[in-house]
Amino acid sequence: MYAEKIFIQCLRYVSNKADAEELLSDCFVKAFKNVHQFQFAGDGSFHAWLRKIAVNECLMFLRKRKQLTIAIDDNSCVNDLVQEEHVFQQLNVAAILKNIQKLPAGYRTVFNLYVFEDRGHKEIAEALNISENTSKSQLFKARKMLKEMMDAVQ
């Protein structure tokens, strides 16, 4: 019932299918081992709980493989974020999903946490041990790179 959705979520964080399958398996093993900790809070709560486990498994996987490297740079891109917001909203969602895996791991991770997991920059910064400005910069660069990929296709 949940495997396909969780698999797609894992696939957004890692660059190949085999790693996503491994993460999916790890996610369900962890869920079954800790099912006693799950607290029902209405429809969708189990899926939300699985999604949270999957995100954490993906982040641990990337850290362990040292693929989660985020360049700490200046704040020059942060001010441009607001100006680029409208451009990003016009892009084709299906095409974006195809290109997410092409992003560098740091960009991809911040992008996924912000866009798909609905986390704020403060929460992302804490989870990844980076500054809020670095999170904002990484999101800006991810969006810019995705836009460039989309422009190249058109």
The band of 78, judged by pLDDT with boundaries at 50, 70 and 90, is very low
Structure token digits, residue 3: 């495997």
Architecture field, domain 78-153: Orthogonal Bundle (1.10)
The CA–CA distances, whole Å, from 59 to 39, 56, 105 equal 23, 5, 10
Structure token digits, residue 54: 């999957």
Indicate the pTM of the whole model: 0.73
Q: Report domain extents, the chain.
A: 3-64, 78-153
CB 58 within 8 A of CB 13: yes
pLDDT, tens digit, 9 for 90 and up, residues 107-141? 999 999 999 999 999 999 999 999 999 999 999 99
Three-state DSSP state, 101: coil
| CATH code for the part of the protein at 3-64 | 1.10.1740.10
